[in-house]
Amino acid sequence: QKEVEQDPGPLSVPEGAIVSLNCTYSNSAFQYFMWYRQYSRKGPELLMYTYSSGNKEDGRFTAQVDKSSKYISLFIRDSQPSDSATYLCAMSAASGTYKYIFGTGTRLKVLA
Amino acid sequence: DSGVTQTPKHLITATGQRVTLRCSPRSGDLSVYWYQQSLDQGLQFLIQYYNGEERAKGNILERFSAQQFPDLHSELNLSSLELGDSALYFCASSVGTSEINEQFFGPGTRLTVL
């Protein structure tokens, strides 16, 4: 079993829809949770960063972490065609390990 | 543009060969990370260097090695290449070594082993 599981999709939604992307994990030591966006033929770029449990909002994006369920989510409101990309979740344990564990990514397509 | 540069963009080589991938971190960043991205495995952490010293190792094969030079650029050496080594190789950099330091990714090098 992988440490981080993510549905690869693809996920197709109409423009304006609310998108929900999710990851589950098995390592209870994870404290830092990130969402990266990767456009085709580009490197990943950080979208959201959350420490421990709770919600974080940034514009149309909301990240949620539920450590009791080992489940994280990224919500995209009013989705746009420009949001079409692969979304990767990443996690890291407390200080000392230095490495991120990534999910395999969910491919999202927002249809105009 | 993240400020991280990687060369070459594409590399096509044969099995058994050796290649070197190069990464220049963002100005001011001391940490460099190498990742391998394949369709079935996703983004896998290989190795991290901080200010010239190895800091963390992930799933890096013994046939692979890396180093970070005094000017902070880094090279990833892949030897005795196999078909399964075909993948995208990303370099990322960050200011320090803490998890809260955002990692900025380069555009990647696409390696094809024939």
Q: Considering CB atoms only, which of B2, B42, B55 is closest to A98? A: B55
**Residues of chain A contacting B4 with CB distance shorter than 8 Å:** 43
CB–CB contact A88 B106 (8 Å)? no
* Contact between A45 and B105 (Cβ < 8 Å): yes
CB–CB contact A43 B106 (8 Å)? yes
Query: Is B42 an 8 Å CB contact of chain A?
Result: yes
User: pLDDT at position B2, please?
Assistant: 86
User: pLDDT at position B86, please?
Assistant: 96
| Cα–Cα distance for residue pair B42/B58, rounded to 1 Å | 14
Query: Is B58 an 8 Å CB contact of chain A?
Result: yes
* Contact between B42 and A36 (Cβ < 8 Å): no
User: pLDDT at position A94, please?
Assistant: 66
> Between B9 and B41, whose confidence is greater?
B9
In this prediction, residue A95 has a pLDDT band, given cuts at 50, 70 and 90, of low
Q: Mean pLDDT throughout A30-42? A: 92
Query: Is B93 an 8 Å CB contact of chain A?
Result: no
User: pLDDT at position A96, please?
Assistant: 58
Q: Mean pLDDT throughout B30-58? A: 90
User: pLDDT at position B15, please?
Assistant: 97
| Cα–Cα distance for residue pair A76/A62, rounded to 1 Å | 7
Q: Mean pLDDT throughout B65-70? A: 97
Query: Is A112 an 8 Å CB contact of chain B?
Result: no
Question: What type of residue is A1?
Answer: Q
Interface test with B, best of A52, A100, A101 (most B CBs within 10 A): A100
CB–CB contact A98 B44 (8 Å)? no
What mean pLDDT is reported for chain B? 93
User: pLDDT at position A29, please?
Assistant: 87
Question: What type of residue is A26?
Answer: S
Interface test with A, best of B6, B33, B43, B47 (most A CBs within 10 A): B43
> Between B14 and A98, whose confidence is greater?
B14
In this prediction, residue B53 has a pLDDT band, given cuts at 50, 70 and 90, of very high
Q: Is the pLDDT of residue B78 over 80?
A: yes
Q: Mean pLDDT throughout A7-24? A: 94
Query: Is B83 an 8 Å CB contact of chain A?
Result: no
User: Which pairing describes strands A19-25 and A71-76: parallel, antiparallel, or unpaired?
Assistant: antiparallel
| Cα–Cα distance for residue pair A20/B26, rounded to 1 Å | 32
CB–CB contact A43 B107 (8 Å)? yes
Q: Mean pLDDT throughout B63-91? A: 97
User: pLDDT at position B95, please?
Assistant: 87
Summarize pLDDT for B85-112 with one digit per residue, the tens: 999 999 999 987 776 778 899 999 999 9
User: pLDDT at position A51, please?
Assistant: 85
Q: pLDDT over 70 for what percent of chain A? A: 96
Phi-psi category of residue B85: left, alpha or beta, with phi > 0 → left and psi -120 to 50 → alpha: alpha
Summarize pLDDT for A56-92 with one digit per residue, the tens: 999 999 999 999 999 999 999 999 999 999 999 999 8
Lowest mean pLDDT of A21-25, B9-13, B41-45, B48-52, name the range: B41-45
Query: Is B4 an 8 Å CB contact of chain A?
Result: yes
